[in-house]
Amino acid sequence: MKFQRALATIPLTLAAFGASAQSMKPGLWEHSFTMKSGSGQIEKAMADMQKQMAAMPPDQRKQMEQMMAQSGVGMGARANTVKVCISPEQAARLDIPQKDDQCKQEITQRSASMMKFKFSCAGQPPASGEGEVTFHSPAHYSSKSVVNTSVEGKPERMTMDQTGKWLSADCGSLKPVKR
Protein backbone atom coordinates (compact mmCIF):
# COMPACT_ATOMS: atom_id res chain seq x y z
CA MET A 1 0.00 0.00 0.00
CA LYS A 2 2.91 2.37 0.78
CA PHE A 3 4.27 1.82 -2.75
CA GLN A 4 0.84 2.44 -4.28
CA ARG A 5 0.48 5.79 -2.47
CA ALA A 6 3.95 6.81 -3.61
CA LEU A 7 3.16 5.69 -7.16
CA ALA A 8 0.06 7.86 -7.15
CA THR A 9 2.10 11.02 -6.41
CA ILE A 10 4.25 10.75 -9.56
CA PRO A 11 1.40 11.52 -12.01
CA LEU A 12 0.17 14.33 -9.75
CA THR A 13 3.60 15.90 -9.73
CA LEU A 14 3.97 15.53 -13.50
CA ALA A 15 0.40 16.75 -14.03
CA ALA A 16 1.18 20.01 -12.27
CA PHE A 17 4.49 20.27 -14.08
CA GLY A 18 3.14 19.30 -17.48
CA ALA A 19 0.41 21.90 -17.34
CA SER A 20 3.02 24.66 -17.17
CA ALA A 21 2.58 25.70 -20.81
CA GLN A 22 3.57 28.71 -22.92
CA SER A 23 -0.08 29.77 -22.78
CA MET A 24 -2.91 27.95 -21.12
CA LYS A 25 -6.52 28.37 -20.19
CA PRO A 26 -7.41 28.80 -16.54
CA GLY A 27 -10.05 26.50 -15.12
CA LEU A 28 -10.60 22.78 -14.68
CA TRP A 29 -8.04 20.45 -16.27
CA GLU A 30 -8.07 16.67 -16.52
CA HIS A 31 -4.76 14.80 -16.66
CA SER A 32 -4.74 11.16 -17.82
CA PHE A 33 -1.73 8.88 -17.74
CA THR A 34 -0.60 5.36 -18.57
CA MET A 35 2.49 3.71 -17.13
CA LYS A 36 4.52 0.74 -18.34
CA SER A 37 7.34 -1.01 -16.51
CA GLY A 38 9.75 -3.79 -17.33
CA SER A 39 8.66 -5.94 -14.37
CA GLY A 40 4.91 -5.35 -14.62
CA GLN A 41 4.82 -4.34 -10.93
CA ILE A 42 3.76 -0.76 -11.71
CA GLU A 43 0.80 -1.97 -13.77
CA LYS A 44 -0.15 -4.45 -11.02
CA ALA A 45 -0.05 -1.70 -8.38
CA MET A 46 -2.26 0.55 -10.55
CA ALA A 47 -4.73 -2.31 -11.12
CA ASP A 48 -4.80 -2.97 -7.36
CA MET A 49 -5.51 0.73 -6.70
CA GLN A 50 -8.37 0.66 -9.22
CA LYS A 51 -9.86 -2.42 -7.50
CA GLN A 52 -9.56 -0.80 -4.07
CA MET A 53 -11.25 2.38 -5.30
CA ALA A 54 -14.05 0.41 -6.97
CA ALA A 55 -14.62 -1.59 -3.77
CA MET A 56 -14.85 1.48 -1.51
CA PRO A 57 -18.22 2.10 0.10
CA PRO A 58 -19.77 5.31 -1.31
CA ASP A 59 -19.31 7.25 1.94
CA GLN A 60 -15.62 6.31 2.15
CA ARG A 61 -15.05 7.26 -1.51
CA LYS A 62 -16.81 10.59 -0.92
CA GLN A 63 -14.60 11.23 2.12
CA MET A 64 -11.48 10.48 0.05
CA GLU A 65 -12.68 12.77 -2.76
CA GLN A 66 -13.30 15.59 -0.26
CA MET A 67 -9.86 15.13 1.29
CA MET A 68 -8.21 15.26 -2.15
CA ALA A 69 -10.31 18.29 -3.17
CA GLN A 70 -9.08 20.20 -0.11
CA SER A 71 -5.55 19.86 -1.45
CA GLY A 72 -6.62 20.90 -4.96
CA VAL A 73 -6.90 17.50 -6.66
CA GLY A 74 -10.04 15.77 -7.87
CA MET A 75 -10.42 12.12 -8.73
CA GLY A 76 -11.19 11.38 -12.34
CA ALA A 77 -13.56 8.76 -13.67
CA ARG A 78 -10.72 6.21 -13.63
CA ALA A 79 -7.73 5.62 -11.34
CA ASN A 80 -5.41 6.96 -14.04
CA THR A 81 -7.03 10.41 -14.24
CA VAL A 82 -6.92 13.40 -11.92
CA LYS A 83 -8.52 16.82 -12.12
CA VAL A 84 -6.74 20.02 -11.15
CA CYS A 85 -8.02 23.59 -10.96
CA ILE A 86 -5.73 26.22 -12.51
CA SER A 87 -6.39 29.78 -11.31
CA PRO A 88 -6.25 32.72 -13.75
CA GLU A 89 -3.15 33.95 -11.88
CA GLN A 90 -1.41 30.58 -12.23
CA ALA A 91 -2.27 30.42 -15.95
CA ALA A 92 -0.98 33.99 -16.48
CA ARG A 93 2.32 33.16 -14.70
CA LEU A 94 2.61 29.89 -16.63
CA ASP A 95 3.74 28.38 -13.35
CA ILE A 96 1.61 25.70 -11.74
CA PRO A 97 2.61 24.89 -8.16
CA GLN A 98 3.68 21.28 -7.76
CA LYS A 99 1.62 19.14 -5.43
CA ASP A 100 4.48 17.31 -3.75
CA ASP A 101 7.06 19.34 -1.78
CA GLN A 102 9.45 16.37 -1.94
CA CYS A 103 9.88 16.81 -5.70
CA LYS A 104 12.27 19.16 -7.47
CA GLN A 105 11.81 20.01 -11.14
CA GLU A 106 13.97 21.71 -13.73
CA ILE A 107 13.10 22.86 -17.25
CA THR A 108 16.07 21.98 -19.46
CA GLN A 109 14.73 23.26 -22.81
CA ARG A 110 11.68 25.26 -23.86
CA SER A 111 10.13 26.46 -27.12
CA ALA A 112 6.67 27.71 -28.09
CA SER A 113 5.35 24.17 -28.53
CA MET A 114 7.66 21.95 -26.44
CA MET A 115 9.34 21.71 -23.07
CA LYS A 116 11.93 19.21 -21.80
CA PHE A 117 12.34 18.66 -18.07
CA LYS A 118 14.09 16.65 -15.34
CA PHE A 119 12.73 15.84 -11.90
CA SER A 120 13.60 14.03 -8.69
CA CYS A 121 11.33 13.10 -5.79
CA ALA A 122 12.70 12.18 -2.36
CA GLY A 123 9.61 10.24 -1.18
CA GLN A 124 9.29 6.52 -0.56
CA PRO A 125 10.18 5.13 -2.94
CA PRO A 126 12.35 7.90 -4.37
CA ALA A 127 11.94 8.64 -8.08
CA SER A 128 13.74 10.61 -10.76
CA GLY A 129 13.48 11.03 -14.48
CA GLU A 130 13.07 13.22 -17.49
CA GLY A 131 10.50 13.91 -20.12
CA GLU A 132 9.13 16.08 -22.86
CA VAL A 133 5.82 17.95 -23.05
CA THR A 134 4.23 18.94 -26.37
CA PHE A 135 1.74 21.81 -26.24
CA HIS A 136 -0.92 21.29 -28.90
CA SER A 137 -3.00 24.32 -27.84
CA PRO A 138 -3.78 26.37 -24.71
CA ALA A 139 -6.33 23.62 -23.90
CA HIS A 140 -4.35 20.44 -24.63
CA TYR A 141 -0.91 18.92 -24.08
CA SER A 142 0.73 15.49 -24.21
CA SER A 143 3.92 14.25 -22.61
CA LYS A 144 6.26 11.30 -22.44
CA SER A 145 8.46 10.62 -19.44
CA VAL A 146 10.93 8.06 -18.20
CA VAL A 147 10.82 7.47 -14.44
CA ASN A 148 13.45 5.64 -12.40
CA THR A 149 12.24 4.33 -9.03
CA SER A 150 12.23 1.10 -7.05
CA VAL A 151 9.68 -1.61 -6.36
CA GLU A 152 10.16 -3.77 -3.29
CA GLY A 153 13.77 -2.56 -3.06
CA LYS A 154 14.64 -3.38 -6.67
CA PRO A 155 15.39 -0.71 -9.32
CA GLU A 156 12.50 -0.13 -11.72
CA ARG A 157 12.35 1.95 -14.89
CA MET A 158 8.98 2.92 -16.28
CA THR A 159 7.63 5.02 -19.09
CA MET A 160 4.65 7.28 -18.67
CA ASP A 161 2.46 8.82 -21.35
CA GLN A 162 0.24 11.66 -20.18
CA THR A 163 -2.31 13.99 -21.70
CA GLY A 164 -3.92 17.07 -20.26
CA LYS A 165 -7.09 18.67 -21.48
CA TRP A 166 -8.98 21.72 -20.38
CA LEU A 167 -12.54 20.88 -19.35
CA SER A 168 -14.18 24.10 -18.21
CA ALA A 169 -13.60 27.66 -17.02
CA ASP A 170 -15.55 26.70 -13.88
CA CYS A 171 -13.72 24.44 -11.41
CA GLY A 172 -16.87 23.80 -9.38
CA SER A 173 -15.95 22.95 -5.79
CA LEU A 174 -12.32 22.18 -6.65
CA LYS A 175 -9.88 24.88 -5.53
CA PRO A 176 -6.54 25.65 -7.22
CA VAL A 177 -3.52 23.72 -5.94
CA LYS A 178 -1.56 25.81 -3.46
CA ARG A 179 1.94 25.25 -2.21
Residues 56-83 have pLDDT tens digits of 888 887 777 666 666 556 565 556 788 8
- For residues 95 and 106, give the distance between their C-alpha atoms in angstroms, rounded to a whole number: 12
Between residues 19 and 162, the one the model is more confident about: 162
Each residue of 17-35: pLDDT tens digit? 444 445 788 999 888 888 8
Query: What confidence tier does 5 reach under pLDDT thresholds 50, 70, 90?
Result: very low
Cα distance between residue 90 and residue 151, in whole Å: 35
3-state secondary structure the chain: CHHHHHHHHHHHHHHHHHCCCCCCCCEEEEEEEEEEECCCHHHHHHHHHHHHHHHCCHHHHHHHHHHHHHCCEEECCCCCEEEEEECHHHHHHCCCCCCCCCEEEEEEEECCCEEEEEEEECCCCCEEEEEEEEEEECCEEEEEEEEEEEECCEEEEEEEEEEEEEEECCCCCCCECCC
* pLDDT (tens digit per residue) in 79-118: 678 888 888 887 776 554 455 567 888 888 888 788 898 9
Q: What are the boundaries of each domain within the chain?
A: 2-165
Q: What pLDDT does 20 receive?
A: 45
Torsion of CA 79, 84, 74, 124, to 10 degrees: 60
Q: What pLDDT was estimated at residue 6?
A: 45
Which tops the pLDDT comparison, 151 or 161?
161
Tell me the pLDDT band of 131, cut-offs 50, 70 and 90: very high
pTM: 0.69
pLDDT, average across residues 27-49: 83
pLDDT band at 10 (very low <50, low <70, confident <90, very high): low
Cα dihedral 34, 165, 127, 65 sign: negative
